A and B are shown apart, each in its own frame.
Chain A
Amino acid sequence: MEKQALKKKDQVIKVLIAEDNAVSAKILQKNINDWGYEVVLAKDGKEAWSSLQNEGIKLAILDWMMPEINGIQLCKKIRQNDHLGKDQEYTYIILLTAKDEQKDLIKGFSAGADDYIRKPFNQLELKARLKTGKRIIDLQKQLQEQASRDSLTEIWNRKRMFRILDKEINRANRDNLPVAIIMIDIDKFKSINDSHGHQVGDLVLKEVTHVLKKSVRNYDEICRYGGDELLIILPNCNVAKTESIAERLRQNMNKHRIDSDTVSLNVTLSFGGASTESYSSDITSEALIMAADKALLEAKNKGRNRVVLKKKIED
């Protein structure tokens, strides 16, 4: 069972082997494939660099001496890229080194390598070192996931929301498609908290999130923007489509009753939406949020439990 679970595609770790020596590359490839990893081969540093940028590589085995860009230079390049942040995940680097290069290992570690293997390698040692790499990658992934989620509702937090939105706006521009956001406020949330206590308030937040999650398309992203404000990112949505989705969410929430041990209540939501369709392509995440926020304020001023869309910049 466990083995089967490990074989799931998203769990298979992609390993880059950057090695100009054909014999060594072939042996590495066979072993690493046999241990259940997916292998990408590169025969020099330049090829390795291009794979690293496009192929979702988690673990890189880099030969120290390679034509074009050597292992050390490549290490530095990878780490520089890690610092640029964005959605880049950590790349675990193992340097391949000949026995007599061992004295230079410090150089490798300060360039950013995590580990090293001596050539010719021992099979069991390589296997163990890869396992360590996998453990670090898994931990790093968990950590990143935790740092991106809101602890109460487990939806994306504000920090992550901005990253997703920036990425979606870029993608929308590239594909010439709109992207929309809906800001949602829980009506009279403060008085729910005041009269029923924070535990009920927390439950309301969780239930609202649950209803929204069930009602959106599976590629829409729900985030917690602030206290009782939620934000949904909707790829490929113009104003009309956004309005109809928001209206569906509003109705679904109206039909839902929240029950706790002490109370049973109906909660309504106010919605403010905006789509890049209404703006020029250089609109920023912040400006789009501001537009949706304005619409949300209007929805609340008009009596709550309603949807308002920003249709033009002047709206």
Chain B
Amino acid sequence: MDNLRNSGSIDMDSVLERVGGDESFLRELFDIYVEDFIEKYPQLEQAISKGDFNNIKEIGHSLKGSSGNLSLTGLHETAYGIELSGKENDIEQAKLYFIRLKEEFKKFKDFLPPEKRQNIELKMPNME
């Protein structure tokens, strides 16, 4: 947890307050978040390549919600950018935010314990 706190990608105090200081519960939430991200990431990639703005908006909104709840500030902002790109039918902006999303997620992932990290790398080989 301390690793992650120092990563700069999370507002640890605010998320701990939200979960009543329960660190093991927070770890459980990270697992759910990662699973969800692994599922949504290729969907978003596809939506962008097809120019499906409605899906871009919805996936962006969903990722914004979960990263916001976990106070993952960088990911939250980026997901919001994706949602807005979908709303504004702006494919170039969506592509830029998608690159940023990948970077932000990598930053977050690199501070997770090794076994979790390996799991992500296994499921998302194209992240590297």
Report A's interface with B, CB cutoff 8 A: 20-24, 26-27, 30-31, 34, 65, 98, 100, 119-123
Contact = CB atoms under 8 A, between A and B. Distances in A.
Given A22-B36, A23-B69, A120-B18, 11 more contacts: A22-B66, A23-B29, A26-B32, A27-B18, A34-B20, A98-B68, A119-B65, A119-B69, A120-B65, A120-B68, A123-B18
Contacts of A26: 28-29, 32
A123 B33 contact: no
Contact of B61 (A22, A23, A65): A65
Contacts of A34: 20
Interface residues of B, number: 22
B20 A31 contact: yes
Contacts of B70: 23
A20 B17 CA distance: 22
Interface string B1-25: 0000000000000000111101001
Contact of B25 (A30, A100, A123): A30
A212 B22 CA distance: 55
A27 B69 contact: yes
Contacts of B78: none
Contacts of A100: 80
Interface string B93-106: 00000000000000
Interface SS of chain B: helix, strand, loop or mixed? helix
B10 to A, nearest CB: 12
Nearest to B66: A23
B71 interface: yes
13 contacts: A22-B32, A22-B36, A23-B69, A24-B66, A30-B20, A31-B20, A34-B20, A65-B58, A65-B61, A98-B65, A120-B65, A120-B68, A123-B18
Given A22-B36, A27-B18, A98-B61, A120 B71 contact: yes
Closest 5 CB pairs of A and B: A23-B66, A120-B68, A21-B65, A120-B69, A24-B69
B89 interface: no
Contacts of B64: 98
In the complex, which of the residues A23, A24, A100, A122 has the most CB atoms of chain B within 10 Å of its own CB atom? A23
Contacts of A119: 65, 68-69
B29 A27 contact: yes
Nearest to B62: A21
A24 B65 CA distance: 7
Given A65-B61, A98-B64, A23 B18 contact: no
A26 B35 CA distance: 14
A24 B25 CA distance: 13
Given A98-B65, A120-B68, A120-B71, A23 B19 contact: no
Contacts of A21: 62, 65-66, 69
